[in-house]
Amino acid sequence: MARLLVDTDKFGDQPGSPIVDAFHNAIKDLVRKSVDKCGGDWNSFVFDKSYTLLSADAFAAIEERLLKTGHRFNWSAMISVVERPGAYKPAKGVGEDLATFSFEHPEAVTAAPDAQGREQRGVGDNVVANAANTIGIARYIRSSDRVLELLSKGVPPETIAIIDDSGGTLTAPILERFKGVICAGGTVRSHLGILTREYGIPCLMNAKISGIHEGDRVEIESTAAAKTAEAYQKGIEMIARIWRLKA
C-alpha cells in the first residue's frame, strides 16, 4: 500500500478541519484503491498506470461531494471566482472588469506617506535583491484576454504587472517586457519567481496589497533582501514594501 511521507518539521502534522480531512482522505483512498488494482510497485503506478486508473471524473466526484457540504475553496486568482463562483469563496468586486479591478487584501500593511510622499500600500517577498528600487505603472494582468490584448497592442512602457496567480504560464508570452512584477500568490521558488529571476525582472511574490489601482505609479522595494527557504520554514518575516507614489 502506498504511504504518503510528510516532513512534519516543515509542514506540521496537525489535522485540518473535519471537512478538509475528509476530502484529503477521500483522495488518499482513491489512490490506495488504484494502487491495489494496479498490482505493481509504486513507480510503475505513478509513471504508467496512474494515467488510466485515476480519472478526472473520479476527482471531480470527490470535489462535488465536498462542495455539497457548503465548503468553498480559498482563491488566489480572481479569474477562478469568475469562472467557478460555486466552488470558491466570494470576492468583493468580482463583477467588475477584471482588467482593472483592484484587489483589497485584508492583511495588507499600509502606512501614511513618508517624507518622500510615498504611501505604503502593501508588502511582498522579494525574489532577488537589486541595486535600486523599481518604479513603474501598475497594470493588472489576470486573464488570457488581457495577455492577448498586450501581445497584439504591445506592453506599455514602465509596466509593473500585478498578477493573482504564481504560475508563470499566463504571462509567459509577455513576461520579459515587464519592468517589474507583483504577484499575490506563491513564494520566491514558485514558477513565476524562477522565471523573473532568470529574466532579471524585479519581482515580489506572496504580495498583500490594498488601494493600488490600474495606472497608479508605484515603487517596489526591490533592494530588500531576498526571502530564503529557511525564512519560509521558520516563519521569519522578510518583507519588501510596496508604495503608491503621487500622480
Q: What pLDDT was estimated at residue 16? A: 63
pLDDT at 98 over 70: no
Smallest CA-to-CA distance from 186 within 172, 198, 203, 202 is with 203
Average pLDDT over every residue of 76-85: 77
Dist CA 50 CA 44 (whole Å): 8
pLDDT at 10 over 50: no
What's the predicted TM-score (pTM) here?
A: 0.73
pLDDT at 92 over 70: no
pLDDT at 205 over 70: yes
Candidates 3.40.50.2300, 3.40.50.620, 1.10.3720.10, 3.50.30.10; correct CATH number of 119-244?
3.50.30.10
Q: What pLDDT was estimated at residue 143? A: 83
Average pLDDT over every residue of 63-83: 83
Q: Which residue has the higher pLDDT, 10 or 69?
A: 69
Q: What pLDDT was estimated at residue 175? A: 96
Residue 161 belongs to what H/E stretch? strand 159-163
Q: What pLDDT was estimated at residue 5? A: 37
For the stretch 113-156, pLDDT in tens is 999 999 999 999 999 999 999 999 999 998 888 999 999 999 99
Average pLDDT over every residue of 56-67: 92
Q: What pLDDT was estimated at residue 80? A: 78
Q: What pLDDT was estimated at residue 4? A: 39
pLDDT at 240 over 90: yes
Q: Where are the domains of the chain?
A: 8-71, 119-244
- Cβ atoms within 10 A of the Cβ of 59, count? 13
Q: What pLDDT was estimated at residue 162? A: 95
Q: How far is CA 167 from the centre of its chain?
A: 7
Q: What pLDDT was estimated at residue 9? A: 43
- Cβ atoms within 10 A of the Cβ of 43, count? 8
pLDDT at 207 over 90: yes
Average pLDDT, the chain: 86
